[in-house]
Chains A and B, each alone.
Chain A
């Protein structure tokens, strides 16, 4: 339009004015921007794909809006790499000016991108990882551990293993922050003998050496936290090496949900796991979510999908409660913490460290009425349970 102006300097200032006017005009109608850093490839890709499907379903059900406001969802792949995730987050903050952030599957990525987001005052509502660091001394008002704190799944599993009377157990997890948290959680509640504690490489897929150690240690149970493809291979190789005859496997949903069942099949029967969510939990929000998910994707959802769906629903409620004024950060944080939405896990509330106080369920894999191999909820080993780190968090209430 102003290309016909003769003087270069005049042209430049006119362009600058036009740009300013445009941005000021855009500010009023700006959509709420949510940055999604997903694991579409890499070692956590199975969880990342599920989270993406859960998010897409929630966005579709909300009609591409959050709290009645138009919303924009920016997706990027981190490939499970903290470095790549940091670049994604820098771009989200500086270029896209996001209002909310969620998406990474692993804890090391959450820990890597957290400080940048907190400094930019962008609320980070995690759709999966709940590293102990953010639950304790490094807790932050801009971080919401909306799903679970890493240790808690395993505290429920440890309690179950103790009650079941297992006298000894070998534990295995990948050597990264969440791996440490999960095994620490199990040991906190397991009173039997820990006959071995193995930390394998992140993304390791061949467990021959570790399985030989387990054979030699002869424990009654093996507790493993190996998310994604790691767990799929571990279970297959565990069964192929003949260990399943004498040793009971106990795990978390990270290796006992629909993604793993689809890849492993029959050898999963009889596997025990503990989780804050299961697809058969009888509450209205969950029944709606599972039915819609099955209709959209022709399969049962995993906890990754459920948690990611929940995050979008939590954002929807928060944006609604602040009347769309997402720039008012204190109000946004208050609304997020109040969490006035129906979670698919059932009712929960946030503790002082922004981590949930909630129930944890014991599930076993069997065949359901339709002959499909899937999880069934058995009992509630931990009720209204709080993570072990909240006292180290300086945040009040």
Chain B
């Protein structure tokens, strides 16, 4: 194994992890602070991807596409919050899961009505279509570097927002003890709405950025929702720091499982056995990580509620 391979795979793992973080950050705040299990978070991700792909093909500007995607999804989220999610605050988790699962089905069919059932193949902006030589011999796609940079910037911004601002303080207070925060005079309702919209904006951003390296298709939200829930559980519910650490862990474990497990197995076993075993191990790796973490830390790595 060469150093370039190791570095390239680490970058891949970081990139995937940061995109998971964008989704998990919203999920963990909504669940941690509002105690609402929002399964339709993945549908907001899908919405972001579709709107961005649409604007990008018509307008040609990728920055505008990302901006419009975030704006549209935040508008949709605002309507959702006012008409549905607000009614779910006091309900038990089963009602929330039922209602938001219903939203997934509606969202998938709405997308099918608007864009049709076939996947939309979004493309990266032309200027970023080629590779960049990071170190000698290490070429890395320019678009993925932008993705990494965006992920790091959002993580940093969220850290500052949550840990250094007054709003962040209120959010943290709500996450660690909601009742106490209410008694202390925090206007919880307004914070709730704000957090929900922030989560939606992050999901839309992730969708818009991920579109060009996956495909924009129905069901893409559900596909990424499951690893994001794994991140949420590993990181500890309600903790931004936990979501970041867990997302990077899941990203790395997933990439290691896909890239290095087959190579390691190939040194000891015949190729036919490796081809049977390796994909199974890669598929299990993140769940094994989750199980392992929960054995030692049943509330996740950094639980917001002590």
Contacts and interface: CB of A to CB of B under 8 A. Distances in A.
A197 interface: yes
B118 A46 contact: yes
A42 B218 CA distance: 8
Interface stretch (B54-62, B233-241, B275-283, B286-294): B275-283
Contact of A49 (B112, B118, B255, B275): B118
B215 to A, nearest CB: 5
Contact of A197 (B131, B275, B283): B275
A232 B215 contact: yes
Contacts of A239: 129
A56 interface: no
30 contacts: A77-B117, A175-B279, A199-B275, A201-B282, A208-B8, A208-B12, A208-B15, A208-B16, A208-B141, A208-B144, A208-B255, A209-B9, A210-B259, A212-B5, A212-B9, A212-B12, A213-B259, A213-B263, A215-B4, A215-B5, A215-B139, A229-B215, A232-B121, A237-B141, A240-B124, A240-B142, A241-B131, A241-B139, A241-B141, A242-B139
B306 to A, nearest CB: 37
Interface in B128-164: 129-131, 139-144
Interface string B90-132: 0000000000000000000000100001110101100001110
Contact of A212 (B117, B131, B259): B259
A49 B9 CA distance: 35
- B-side binding surface: helix, strand, loop or mixed? helix
A240 B259 contact: no
Contacts of B258: 200, 209-210
Question: Interface size for chain B: under 10, 10 to 19, 20 to 34, or 35 or more residues?
Answer: 35 or more
A41 B9 contact: no
A239 B142 CA distance: 12
A233 B214 contact: yes
A93 interface: no
A266 to B, nearest CB: 10
A229 B217 contact: yes
A216 B215 contact: no
A326 interface: no
Interface of B: 1-2, 4-5, 8-9, 12, 15-16, 112, 117-119, 121, 123-124, 129-131, 139-144, 213-215, 217-219, 255, 258-259, 262-263, 271, 275, 278-279, 282-283
Contact of A233 (B9, B15, B213, B263): B213
